[in-house]
Amino acid sequence: MSTENEGNAVPPAPSAPPVPVETPAASAQGAPHVGEAPTAPIPAVPGTPGAPEHESAPAGMPAYASNGAGQGTDPYAQAPAQGSAPEAGWPPPPPPTPSYADGGGSGHGGWGSAYQQPAPKPKNGRGGLVAAVLVAALVAGGVGGGIGYSLAKNDDNSTDSTTVSAPSTSGEVKRASGTVANVAATALPSTVTIEAQSTNGEGGTGTGFVFDKQGHILTNNHVVADAVDGGKLTATFPSGKKYDAEVVGHAQGYDVAVIKLKNAPSDLKPLVLGDSDKVAVGDSTIAIGAPFGLSNTVTTGIISAKNRPVASSDGSASSKSSYMSALQTDASINPGNSGGPLLDASGAVIGINSAIQSSSSGGLGGSGQSGSIGLGFAIPINQAKYVAQQLIQTGKPVYAKIGASVSLEEGTGGAKITEQGASGSSSVEAGGPAAKAGLKPGDVITRLDDMTVDSGPTLIGAIWTHKPGDTVKLTYTRDGKTHTTDVTLGSREGDN
């Protein structure tokens, strides 16, 4: 998903359709009917200029939901590229996902219809009479309005008025705990709008939130990617206070990054972290971010699915893919929301907004940056918290792995261990976790613990929700027979 801040061009307002031509017979009966001009569509709000965000991913693939750097293709170290001869290098290409159909077409008689000059209206004395009557009515209406205003004004000043006004000393409205307004009022002061700029001036806008009192801010990798190599990074609070920041560590595969404020204030209030494992489908959600550069925007929705396998990318050849077993929400997530908190009804963070599914039409009006269609994806906070702690401690991410290359092709019925790894190497790492568990090339992994595995990316995302050293149960098929085995996950440090 991307963190960009580009808005769509404002479409020109169409002209009103022609006034219908009346027949003399109709005119003889009364005043001509004037055709009503249809309401022009409201143009999309343009984003902040000069802050490019990630464009949407290839057709059907979720794109980053913010305005920053990109991703590409990439599972864990041994994950192969697509095709019959996958490579085990980082990263593999993202799997093709079906794109959404884009309905459309134009009919007759709409804005595209040719304009025809209406025939001249018949001249008679009726039109002048109607105009005179209308003028008289307007004069009468004006007199009546003036009298009504005078009476209402006098009545307001009288002592027997029944109108009740709230006293000016009533104080602020109290909003109950758990309401969206209360949650937003508590969380907003701890969110920031992040602006990242590379050395060549390119960059974008995203969101982040206070992770601890030392000034660490948790966000997405693609939000800050432009500023990683000597670029400029700033974080602005809703109060207007702006701080320079630096990247502490970033994980491309997880799409998680930690930045730290320079000269951080002493009164920082970290957001409370929830437990994403206990989230249920249907739970209320609240998202905070800067969609299209509109900072401090609050949207609401529900958790619409859990453990949704997502391989997100901005579509560029140089970027790497992120894989997640995501929380899906229908809260509005748009470019600029990336890195912002997804909260539960109590105000606890349950995820980091990271990606959106975009239609293939490319946004409002069929062009420009795509917007929300009700499919947003967030990195579960339990996973993001672990990654953030690793980045703060060492500056590098640590990934769990099984030590086998899997195909990223669709239609394999699971995660198929490839026949060959990168550059002709073995697809099963000698002495690695998969080899110790007895897995071989050609095996198709169909389950990890209780989770169904339908593809290589699904397996990668599921493995990365675990930590190195965890033991998982894999179900796989070989020669038409189903087997199970326990695998103790290994580790790989860094994104290379």
Supply the residues annotated as catalytic. Answer: 222, 255, 338
Sign of CA dihedral 156, 157, 161, 162: positive
Beta bridge partners of 103: none
Helix residue spans in 178-328 (DSSP H): 180-187, 221-224
374 Cβ neighbours under 8 A, 6+ residues apart: 301, 304, 330, 332
Residue for token pair 């693939």: 61
Alpha carbon separation from 337 to 178, 229, 385 (Å, rounded):
22, 23, 19
Q: Are 336 and 329 in contact (CB under 8 A)?
A: no
376 Cβ neighbours under 8 A, 6+ residues apart: 65, 287, 301, 328, 329, 330, 331, 332, 333, 337, 353, 355, 356, 357
What single-letter DSSP state applies at residue 373? -
Q: Are 224 and 67 in contact (CB under 8 A)?
A: no
Tokens of 9: 């061009």
Residue for token pair 């792995």: 401
Is residue 177 packed enough to be buried (19+ CB in 10 Å), middle (13-18) or exposed (0-12)? exposed
Report the distance separating Cα 368 and Cα 370, nearest Å.
6
Q: Are 442 and 473 in contact (CB under 8 A)?
A: no
Q: How many residues does the chain have?
A: 496
